[in-house]
C-alpha cells in the first residue's frame, strides 16, 4: 500500500540543525512531490515547503526560507527536510505528505509525523 | 499570503446531527480549497479537494461547496468516528495556508 515512513523523534539544542527523512513506498516516487507540514503543540498546521521528486524543484515559504532545505534521493525513494538554526518555537511534529509533481497541490498521503523538540 | 479563516472555532454536536463548518479566504482562490480531518495524535487525512471532490474512501456524508472566498464543509449525519478537528487549506498559490481548525466535539 502507499505509505510514507518517517524517521524517529529528535531532541536538539537551540542553534543546531535537524534532518528528517520520509521514505515512500507503494507508488512511483518520481511521479509526485513531497510537502512538509508542521504542527506545534496544541496548534494548527503550517506548511514548510514542497519538493518535486520528479525534477527537484522546491518552493519554500518566506518564513523559513534560508533555514530549510528539502532534498530527495530517488534511488531510495526518500525525501529529506533539513531545518537549521533551530529555535524553541521550531518544536513541533513534522509531517511529510505526498503532493503534486509540478506544484504542491493537495496532500493525499501523510506520514505519521516526526517529533522535534528544541530545548536546552 | 492568503489568510484562511474558519468558523466556528469549535462546536458541540450529537450523533446524527447535520454539521456545517465554514472557511473564508482573504482573496479569491476560485475552487482551490481542500478539507482535512485530524484526530488526536494522528496525521491529517484528506477528505475533499477542489472544493467538492470527495477523496477515494471518504464517506458520502461529507460534502463541500463554495467558490471564490467562501466555502463550506458539511457532514450530513454525524457519526461517532467524525469527532475530530477539521482544517481547510488553499492551494491557489504558495505559500499554502491552512485555516485555524474547527474542533467537533460531542
Write out pLDDT tens, residues A92-113. 999 999 999 998 889 999 999 9
Kindly give, in sequence order, each residue whose CB lies less than 8 Å from that of residue B66, ignoring residues fewer than 6 positions away.
Answer: B23, B33, B51, B72
Chain A neighbors of B91, CB-CB under 8 A: 103-106
C-alpha cell recorded at residue A14: 537551540
Nearest CA of chain B to the CA of A71: how many Å?
18
What φ, ψ does residue A45 adopt, rounded to 5°?
-95, 140
For residue B35, how many other CB atoms are within 10 A of its CB? 29
CA distance A93 to A42: 10
Q: Across the strands, what pairs with A69?
A: A82
Using the predicted structure, report yes or no on whether residue A84 has a pLDDT greater than 90. Answer: yes
Closest-CA residue of chain A to B48: A106
Which own/partner contact pairs does B42-50 have at CB distance under 8 Å and 24+ positions apart? B42/A112, B43/A95, B43/A97, B43/A110, B43/A111, B43/A112, B43/A113, B44/A37, B44/A45, B44/A95, B44/A97, B44/A107, B44/A110, B44/B87, B45/A110, B46/A106, B46/A107, B46/A108, B47/B73, B47/B86, B48/B73, B49/A106, B49/A108, B50/A106
- Is A62 in contact with B95 (Cβ distance < 8 A)? yes
pLDDT band at B106 (very low <50, low <70, confident <90, very high): confident
For residue A76, how many other CB atoms are within 10 A of its CB? 11
Answer for the pair A81, A38: CB distance below 8 angstroms, yes or no: no
Q: Residues B9-18: pLDDT tens digits?
A: 999 999 999 9
Q: Which of A61, A103, A108 sits opposite B95 (nearest CB)?
A: A61
* Cis geometry, peptide bond prior to residue B28 (ω within 30 degrees of 0): no
Q: Residues B32-59: pLDDT tens digits?
A: 999 999 999 999 999 999 999 999 999 9
Is the CB of A10 inside 8 Å of chain B's CB atoms? no
Q: Residues A35-82: pLDDT tens digits?
A: 999 999 999 999 999 999 999 999 999 999 999 999 999 999 999 999
Chain A neighbors of B94, CB-CB under 8 A: 50, 59, 61, 104
% residues pLDDT > 90 (chain A): 96
Amino acid at each position: 500500500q502507499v505509505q510514507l515512513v518517517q524517521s524517529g523523534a529528535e531532541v536538539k539544542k537551540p542553534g543546531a540543525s535537524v534532518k528528517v527523512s520520509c521514505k515512500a513506498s507503494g507508488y512511483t516516487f518520481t511521479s509526485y512531490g513531497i510537502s512538509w507540514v508542521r504542527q506545534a503543540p496544541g496548534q494548527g498546521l503550517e506548511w514548510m515547503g514542497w519538493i518535486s521528486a520528479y525534477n527537484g524543484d522546491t518552493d519554500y515559504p518566506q518564513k523559513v526560507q534560508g533555514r530549510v532545505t528539502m532534498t530527495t534521493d530517488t534511488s531510495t525513494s526518500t525525501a529529506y527536510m533539513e531545518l537549521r538554526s533551530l529555535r524553541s518555537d521550531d518544536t513541533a511534529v513534522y509531517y511529510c505528505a505526498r503532493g503534486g509533481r509540478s506544484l504542491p497541490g493537495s496532500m493525499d498521503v501523510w506520514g505519521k509525523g516526526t517529533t522535534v523538540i528544541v530545548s536546552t | 499570503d492568503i489568510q484562511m479563516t474558519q468558523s466556528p472555532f469549535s462546536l458541540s454536536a450529537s450523533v446524527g446531527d447535520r454539521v456545517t463548518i465554514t472557511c473564508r479566504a482573504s482573496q479569491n482562490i476560485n475552487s482551490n480549497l481542500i478539507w482535512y480531518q485530524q484526530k488526536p495524535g494522528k496525521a491529517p487525512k484528506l477528505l475533499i479537494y477542489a472544493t467538492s471532490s470527495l477523496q477515494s474512501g471518504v464517506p458520502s456524508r461529507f460534502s463541500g461547496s463554495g467558490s471564490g472566498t467562501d466555502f463550506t464543509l458539511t457532514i450530513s449525519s454525524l457519526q461517532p468516528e467524525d469527532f475530530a478537528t477539521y482544517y481547510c487549506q488553499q492551494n491557489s498559490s504558495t505559500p499554502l495556508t491552512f485555516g485555524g481548525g474547527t474542533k467537533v466535539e460531542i
